[in-house]
DNA sequence: ATCTGCGATAAAGTCATACGATACGGACAG
DNA sequence: CTGTCCGTATCGTATGACTTTATCGCAGAT
């Protein structure tokens, strides 16, 4: 399931060697290749898998430790942490999920969280937006309608639209959830690519209505419309997930 | 402002050397000792501050990199990242904030986010709770009323109460926000310690009403009552913040 | 036979050193 | 004053040795 990831820059640098190792390990953990037990014998993996120095390996492990994926203890080895210890909201962790098979439960959870947060964020954005904020939001919207459906530029504009709304809410912690919103958007676009155009025009209309409410500075309206947008997005995504679930073996965690 | 931190176990191990270095650096960054520019000359800090090997130092930096606090570039040095790049929702990052002076804007932001998320979580908890979930929630509540006000056991029970509700919502991403809820609770308890008892009984009553709604499996009621609980908690905290702001110099970022 | 305690051991943690890559900045020449 | 070049500072990576720690097994005692 290797797919294009349009996430805003994560903290991990894939150019660096340790970054590649971290990514490789992380994807293996998230995919379930490594369960929640003991894992990779340090030196063995070091020498065999990819010839990499202990330094690079250890720094990769530290990176994963910081995100709660693994926990290393002096004697028992480096274990994969239980899933409820992972920082699922971390941009890197979210991004790594795109490299693994879609986890329906997880995607539903993300949408659910988004449905709690983003309408409220839209309300605040309508009330607190600065002229610069509004310009960013409008730029995102225009980027969506000025580009062909499902084009990379369109997706980027979509993400920019939602990020701009979160930024306009003037709440630093809400901005940290931008990666959650980005992730759900990307999942929905990815999963329903090649689908009919009905969903697409609906989505555009939903965005326009949100933008309109924010322009009017109508908080409640913005929240309601953003709520509708998220619901629509979720429904189309679920439609595909249900369809895909019937196709092959439904391996839902 | 060093205070007792009752957070659930973070991923950082303070027993390890690199963990102490990471904590030290992180607090310095969050406190604003290091701004968003160049920072600590590697070797100089290495040799002077605390005699620590390059390995420990580098792994500490990698840990902070993973949380978005710093970004190291091959030549220009290790810079402190701009604040909007920090993973403010990370348990460690939240925890480190307790070591710095209270940042009113940040605390307000945390409460705002909590007010968006926790009522919805309470609604789900009322609808999806298992018997085990309910037992956990009730255990938390009883821990609050069976212990003296502001005792450590009471605070732990308070945190457990809210964590149990988040867990009962059966949404893994909501559980990741438990640290946000914990942080706001601790800020409110910390800031208004030594205050009058009125707030305390109000808080207990708020909790009881939430529990009652969850027992009744009334989602809307649970959401409304949790919303009231958060509002009350925020108001008492703001009361103190405003009062404290008049006392000494209001250095609010 | 079960429990207790101590030591061997394995793995992570830490330290020291070395070399390579790179970007910043200053020196020198035009 | 400007442009080029080289030195240097700093991070990235590699390697080897030593230390700390916690687990496991063995031995002894109850």
Task: For residue range A184-202, list pLDDT tens digits in order.
Answer: 999 988 877 555 677 889 9
**Per the domain annotation, does B24 fall within a domain?**
yes
Q: What is this structure's pTM?
A: 0.91
CATH number of the domain within which B177 lies? 1.20.120.530
Residue A220 has pLDDT above 60, yes or no: yes
Residues A47 and A112 in one domain: no
Judge if B50 and B150 occupy the same domain.
Answer: no
A106 and A68 in one domain? no
Chain A residues 50-89 with Cβ under 7 Å of strand D are: 51-56, 59, 73-76
State which residue has its Cα closest to the C1' atom of C9: A75
Give dist(CA B95, CA B3) in Å, integer: 10
CA–CA distance, B196 with B202 (Å, rounded to integer) = 11
Cβ of residue B78 lies below 7 Å from strand D = yes
The predicted model gives B72-78 an average pLDDT of 81
Q: Residue B72's pLDDT is what?
A: 84
Residue A6 has pLDDT above 90, yes or no: no
Give the three-class secondary structure for A148.
Answer: coil
Question: What is the arithmetic mean of pLDDT over A35-48?
Answer: 67
pLDDT of the residue at A248: 54
Least confident of A44-53, A147-156, B120-129, B170-179: A44-53
Please say if the pLDDT value at position A156 is more than 80.
Answer: yes
Q: Lowest-pLDDT range, A104-113, B64-73, B114-123, B217-226?
A: B64-73
User: Using the CB atom, is residue B2 less than 7 Å from strand D?
Assistant: no
The tokens for B249 are 């110099």
How many whole angstroms separate alpha carbon B156 and alpha carbon B32? 30
Task: Flag whether A5 is in a domain.
Answer: no
Distance between CA atoms of residues A208 and A29, nearest Å: 40
Residues B123 and B183 in one domain: yes
Of the listed ranges B77-81, B135-139, B243-247, the least confidently predicted one is: B243-247
Average pLDDT (B178-183) is: 96
Domain residue limits at B63: 17-85
The C1' atom of D17 and the CA atom of B115 lie apart, in whole Å, by 54
Strand C closer than 7 A to residue A58 Cβ? yes
Residue A169, pLDDT score: 98
B135 and B227 share one domain? yes
The total number of structural domains that make up chain B: 2
- Residue A148 lies inside a defined structural domain of this protein: yes
- To the nearest whole Å, the CA of B120 is away from the closest chain A CA by 7
Q: Is residue B22 part of a domain?
A: yes
A114 with A226, same domain? yes
pLDDT tens track for B33-55: 888 777 766 666 666 666 788 88
A111 and A47 in a common domain: no
**Which has more confidence, B152 or A192?**
B152
Question: B11 to chain A, minimum CA–CA distance in Å?
Answer: 6
How far is CA A4 from its chain centroid? Answer: 12
Which pLDDT score is estimated for A249?
45
B71 and B130 inside one domain: no
CATH code: domain of residue A34:
1.10.10.10
Q: What is the pLDDT of residue B139?
A: 98
Mutate which of A84, A113, A165 to disrupt the B interface (most B C-beta within 10 Å)?
A: A113
Q: Are residues B174 and B227 part of one domain?
A: yes
Residue B4 lies in a domain: no
- Contact between A88 and B172 under an 8 Å Cβ cutoff? The reply is yes
Q: Are residues B74 and B107 part of one domain?
A: no
Once rounded to an integer, what is the mean pLDDT over residues B203-231? 98
Query: Do B91 and B7 touch, CB atoms closer than 8 A?
Result: yes
Q: What is the DSSP string of chain B?
A: ------PPP-S--TTSHHHHHHHHHHHHHHHTSS-SSB---HHHHHHTTS---HHHHHHHHHHHHHTTSEEEETTTEEEEPPGGGS-TTSHHHHHHHTTS---HHHHHHHHHHHHHHHHHHHHHHHHH--HHHHHHHHHHHHHHHSS-TT-HHHHHHHHHHHHHHHHHTT-HHHHHTHHHHHHHHHHHHHHTTT--SHHHHHHHHHHHHHHHHHHTT-HHHHHHHHHHHHHHHHHHHHHHHHHHHHHS-----
Residue B193 has pLDDT above 70, yes or no: no
Chain D bases closer than 7 angstroms to a protein Cβ:
9-16, 20-24
Same domain for B182 and B129: yes
* Residue pairs spanning A and B at CB distance below 8 A: 114
Residues A154 and A123 placed together within one structural domain of the fold:
yes
More confident: A22 or B13: A22
Which among B51, B85, B119 is the end of a domain? B85
A54-65 per-position pLDDT tens digit: 888 989 999 999
**Among residues of chain A, what percentage have pLDDT more than 90?**
61
Give domain status of residue A8, yes or no: no
Average pLDDT, chain B: 88
Tell me the chain B residues in contact with residue A105 when contact means C-beta distances shorter than 8 Å: 172
Q: Does residue A2 register a pLDDT over 60?
A: no
* Residue B138, in any domain of the structure: yes
CB contact under 8 A, A110 and B173: yes
Q: Which of A58, A85, A112 is the last residue of a domain?
A: A85
Separation between the CA of B75 and the C1’ of C30 (whole angstroms): 30
**Residue B135 pLDDT more than 90?**
yes
């Amino acid at each position: 399931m290797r797919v294009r990831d349009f996430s805003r820059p994560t903290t991990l640098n894939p150019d660096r060697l340790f970054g590649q190792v971290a990514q490789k390990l992380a994807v293996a953990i998230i995919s379930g290749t490594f369960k929640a037990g003991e894992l990779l014998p340090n030196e063995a993996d070091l020498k065999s898998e990819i010839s990499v120095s202990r330094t690079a390996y250890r720094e990769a492990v530290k990176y994963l430790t910081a995100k709660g994926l693994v926990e290393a203890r002096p004697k028992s080895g480096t274990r994969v942490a239980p899933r409820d210890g992972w920082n699922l909201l971390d941009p890197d962790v979210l991004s790594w999920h795109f490299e693994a098979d879609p986890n329906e439960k997880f995607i539903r959870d993300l949408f659910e969280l988004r449905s709690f947060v983003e309408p409220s964020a839209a309300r605040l954005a309508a009330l607190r937006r600065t002229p610069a904020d509004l310009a960013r939001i409008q730029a995102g919207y225009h980027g969506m309608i000025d580009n062909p459906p499902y084009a990379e530029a369109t997706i980027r504009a979509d993400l920019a639209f939602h990020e701009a709304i979160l930024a306009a809410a003037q709440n630093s912690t809400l901005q940290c959830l931008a990666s959650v919103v980005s992730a759900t958007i990307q999942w929905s676009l990815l999963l329903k690519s090649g689908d009919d155009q009905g969903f697409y025009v609906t989505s555009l209309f939903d965005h326009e209505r949100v933008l309109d409410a924010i322009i009017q500075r109508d908080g409640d309206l913005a929240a309601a419309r953003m709520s509708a947008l998220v619901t629509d997005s979720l429904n189309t995504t679920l439609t595909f997930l249900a369809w895909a679930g019937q196709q092959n073996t439904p391996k839902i965690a």
